[in-house]
């Protein structure tokens, strides 16, 4: 699957560059929310979507724990500044839906705060959509046995251990509870203007391909093929770098 996956992903990434051009030319705003359990594959999918795009028109939003000041604000306030501008794609690695699943499961919000959020979020999202924002919401699913294997991989890999937070480790024991909270979230916040889409991520590569294809189908702004660029010939011979001796060269150690 490795070669086929890479070839398919590259084809989809070309389509994503066309989508970005379509957003720029139309001025549309695209907001994509990625939710799911720890290790589901949100970060890898966001990287696959964004890695070939122009960073000036694509932003990744992964907000940290609220500050003491933010904790006193209207709940949606810290997210509003990160909404997309005209012609922009914004990818949320977790979002305001923390309050629907993670926060109540881990005891980070009160019952009253949770209930107020669940009542407010449909109206909030309707305001976004009514204002012209294209909103896509994805929940990445993963079975507990597969999730446990990924936790073990992270624990054993020094390049991945940073991904394991104390909250992640505590959440391992709340698989069923978080599933119930997820179902309640979907039942309360799934609507015609802001539906939820589920993506099977027990196989992460397959999940990425399926999700990206689906995303492209929801936003038909990628029909314009980027024409090839013909570079004119240089006048004279190619130059060499002759830099002032004031700066220091990085040692050639490779």
Q: How sure is the predictor about 35, in pLDDT bands with cuts at 50, 70 and 90?
A: very high
Cβ atoms 89, 23 nearer than 8 A: yes
Adjacency order of strands within the sheet including 196-200:
58-61, 89-93, 29-36, 133-141, 196-200
Separation in Å, CA 190 to CA 19, 27, 39, 93, 184: 25, 26, 24, 19, 10
Higher pLDDT, 30 or 2: 30
What's the rounded Cα separation, in Å, for the pair 61 and 45? 14
With contact defined as beta carbons under 8 Å apart, do 117 and 60 qualify?
no
pLDDT tens digits along 150-177: 999 999 999 999 989 888 888 899 999 9
- Predicted TM-score (pTM) of this structure: 0.93
**Parallel, antiparallel or unpaired: strands 89-93 and 133-141:** unpaired
Could you tell me how many helices (H) and strands (E) the chain has, helices first? 8, 5
In terms of pLDDT, which residue wins out, 224 or 103?
A: 103
**CA-CA distance, 252 to 254, in Å (whole number)?**
6
Helix (H, G, I), strand (E, B) or coil at 141: strand
In this prediction, residues 184-205 reach a mean pLDDT of 97
pLDDT for res 226: 75
> What is the per-residue pLDDT across 105-142, written as a single tens digit (0 to 9) for each?
999 999 999 999 999 999 999 999 999 999 999 999 99
Please, are residues 189 and 131 in contact by the beta-carbon 8 Å criterion? Answer: no
* CA–CA gap between residue 9 and residue 231 (Å, rounded): 28
Helix, strand, coil abundance in the chain, percent, nearest 5: 50, 10, 35
> Tell me: the pLDDT tens digits for 210-229?
999 999 999 988 777 778 89
Residues 6+ apart with CB under 8 A from 85: 29
Looking at residue 1, its pLDDT comes to: 66
- Arithmetic mean of pLDDT, 40-55: 97
pLDDT digits (tens, 9 = 90+) for 63-74: 999 999 999 999
Contact 105, 130 (CB under 8 A): no
- Angstrom distance (rounded) from CA 90 to CA 39: 21
């Amino acid at each position: 699957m490795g070669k086929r996956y890479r070839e398919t992903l590259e084809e989809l990434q070309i389509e994503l560059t066309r989508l970005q051009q379509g957003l720029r030319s139309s001025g549309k705003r695209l907001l994509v929310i990625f939710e799911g359990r720890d290790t589901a594959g949100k970060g890898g999918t966001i990287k696959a979507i964004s890695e070939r795009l122009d960073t000036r028109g694509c932003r990744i939003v992964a907000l940290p724990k609220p500050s003491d000041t933010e904790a006193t604000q209207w709940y949606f306030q810290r997210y509003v500044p990160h909404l997309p501008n005209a012609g922009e794609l914004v990818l949320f690695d977790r979002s305001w839906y923390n309050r629907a699943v993670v926060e109540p499961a881990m005891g980070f919000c009160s019952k009253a705060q949770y209930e107020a959020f669940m009542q407010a979020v449909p109206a909030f999202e309707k305001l976004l959509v009514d204002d012209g924002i294209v909103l896509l919401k994805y929940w990445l699913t993963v079975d507990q046995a597969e999730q446990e294997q990924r936790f073990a991989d992270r624990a054993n890999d020094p390049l991945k251990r940073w991904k394991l937070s104390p909250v992640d480790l505590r959440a391992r024991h709340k698989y069923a509870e978080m599933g119930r909270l997820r179902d309640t979230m979907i039942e309360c916040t799934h609507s015609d203007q802001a539906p939820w889409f589920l993506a099977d991520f027990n196989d992460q590569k397959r999940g990425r391909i399926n999700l990206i294809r689906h995303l492209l189908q929801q936003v038909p702004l990628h029909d314009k093929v980027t024409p090839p660029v013909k570079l004119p010939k240089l006048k004279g011979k190619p130059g060499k770098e002759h830099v002032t001796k004031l700066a220091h060269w990085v040692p050639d150690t490779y």
